[in-house]
Structure 1
Amino acid sequence: MSHLSINNLSKTYPNGVKALDNVSIELENGMFGLLGPNGAGKSSLMRTIATLQDADTGSVTLDDINIFTQPEELRKVLGYLPQEFGVYPRISAEQLLNHLAILKGFTNGKERKEMVKYLLDKVNLYDKRNKSVKGFSGGMKQRVGIAQALIGNPKLIIVDEPTAGLDPSERNRFYNLLADVGKEVIVILSTHIVDDVRELCTKMAIMDQGQIVYQGAPQESLDELKGMVYQKIVSRDSLEEYAVNYSIISNKMVGGQPVIHILSETDPGNGFEQVRPNLEDVFFSKINTANTLV
């Protein structure tokens, strides 16, 4: 069982943007979801943990590895799938994984060949091993991305916005693959897609403006909002009026009309009906609350 400890991590960029503001998280084996809107600081946190950038203050340790003083040790046990996983043109899946395995220090040809075969099997791409990765669909490229992240039996795997742009069937295949991987290592899934976390993660954190505004299990967060979420179909021209009078946590179009969810400790009446909270309600309630506190 591995343990990742992130303590009081802060990072301000030269342009004055505070990307990380005193972030602390403790993680063990399993799938951990990091939710947040674009610009919340998720990628900055992932890049810092992956030793791609330094922090101004704070510490990160994986078991007995201090990632800032021993970055090379961390990289030996790290699998990383960035938001943009680039591939070489005119190179096959097998050649790509073989090349990346060499870069990661696997010099024994026989051992490397067996590992590449095992990884292609694991992500269900062995029959496509000789095809150019450049011609793969988005979902297939992401599976190659997970295969390269698994090179060398990592203790920690970071995946940054992995399902953006995938169609529903590709997303489901990817969920199954990640869930399988997450049984034995720490997997951090950074995303702005609530479904990703709902489907996969037993623990999660919500980030906004560089801060952690919620940490816990998805079910715990739902229990916190029980009996407090109400829904109503409204007209478009009345949206502003409702925004003034109620604490709207989300609004979306259903059948051409806005459906709003509000947060209220008592029954607001006025045609609102109580609904069971979902993870999207949790997400928007935490983000809205965080924004009002800044």
Structure 2
Amino acid sequence: MARLSIQNLSKTYPNGVKALDNVSLEISNGMFGLLGPNGAGKSSLMRTLATLQEADSGSAFLNDLDILNNPTDLRKVLGYLPQEFGVYPRITAAQLLDHVAILKGVSNKKERKDLVDFLLQKVNLYDKRNKSVKGFSGGMKQRVGIAQALIGNPQLIIVDEPTAGLDPGERNRFHNLLADVGENVVVILSTHIVDDVRELCSNMAIMNHGEIVYAGTPVAVLDELKGKVWVKTITRDEVEVYKTQHHVISDKMVAGQPQIHILSDNHPGDGFNPVEPNLEDVFFTKINPAVKA
């Protein structure tokens, strides 16, 4: 059973941006969701754990392996799918995976072919193995990305914004694949898409401005908001007025009209109705410093 322990990680870039601010997390095997808006520090944390950049201070251990001080050893047990998975456009899926397998130290040609065939079948691309990757859809490229991340029996798999740009069908297939591979290893799913975390992860953290603002289970944090979230459909010119009168968590268009969710311990009256809190409510509550659950 793999376990990832992150203690007091901090990172400030030369331009003064504090990307990681004393980040601590304990993550066991399975799917772990890291949720946050763009610019929250998620990619900085993923890049640090993937040994692509150094932290200024703190520690990170995968079981007994000191990640920050032994990057080469970590890379041997790491599967990484970055936000932008670059592919060599003029080679086939099989050639691409074969190349990555060589880079990961699989030197035996037959062993490598068996591994590539197995992974292509696992990501449902075996019948496309001899097709050029440049002709693949976004979802197919992501599946190639997951296949390369699985080479070498990784203990830690990091996927950064994996479903951005995928159509609903590709997204569902990708979710099923992630859930399948995530049973015996640590899989960190970094995303700003709330549904990804709700559907896949039994544990999660929410990050904002380089800090962890919540860590725990989706169920526990939803319980925090029970009975405190209220909904009302209003007109467009009322949105700003309501924001001055209530703790508005979110406003979005529903059937062409703005619908607001507010946070209140008591019934706010004024035509508001109670609503069962969802992870989107949690997300906006936790990243909005003016609103405390």
TM-score, scaled relative to structure 1 = 0.98
Matched, 1:256 2:256: yes
Change (3 A) 1:46 1:252: same
- In the TM superposition, what are the counterparts of 1:229-244 in structure 2 within 5 Å? 229-244=229-244
Tell me the amino acid that sits aligned with residue 94 of structure 1.
Answer: A
Calculate percent identity across the aligned residue pairs.
74
The SS at the match of 2:5 is strand
Tell me the amino acid that sits aligned with residue 280 of structure 1.
Answer: E
CA deviations 1:206-238 (Å, max 9, x no partner) are: 000000000111111111100000000011111
Which residue number in structure 2 is paired with residue 273 of structure 1? Answer: 273
CA deviations 1:32-56 (Å, max 9, x no partner) are: 0000000000000000000000001
Matches of 1:170 and 1:220 in 2, distance apart? 30
Matches of 1:71 and 1:287 in 2, distance apart? 32
Unaligned runs of 5+ in 1: none
Which residue number in structure 1 is paired with residue 107 of structure 2? Answer: 107
The SS at the match of 1:15 is coil
Matched, 1:124 2:124: yes
- In the TM superposition, what are the counterparts of 1:1-294 in structure 2 within 5 Å? 1-289=1-289
The SS at the match of 1:23 is strand
Matches of 2:241 and 2:291 in 1, distance apart? 19
The SS at the match of 1:260 is strand
- CA shift, 1:127, in A, is 0.4
The SS at the match of 1:72 is helix
CA deviations 1:166-211 (Å, max 9, x no partner) are: 0000000000000001111100000000000011000000000000
Tell me the amino acid that sits aligned with residue 159 of structure 1.
Answer: V
Tell me the amino acid that sits aligned with residue 2 of structure 2.
Answer: S
Matches of 1:139 and 1:90 in 2, distance apart? 18
The SS at the match of 2:243 is helix
- CA shift, 1:292, in A, is 6.8
CA deviations 1:107-135 (Å, max 9, x no partner) are: 01111111001100100100000001111
Tell me the amino acid that sits aligned with residue 283 of structure 1.
Answer: F
Matches of 2:267 and 2:201 in 1, distance apart? 32
Matches of 1:199 and 1:133 in 2, distance apart? 29
CA contact (8 A) 2:156 2:187 kept: yes
Tell me the amino acid that sits aligned with residue 47 of structure 1.
Answer: R
For this pair of structures, how many residues does the alignment match? 292
CA contact (8 A) 2:2 2:184 kept: no
The SS at the match of 2:139 is helix
Matches of 2:79 and 2:234 in 1, distance apart? 47
Matches of 2:31 and 2:179 in 1, distance apart? 7
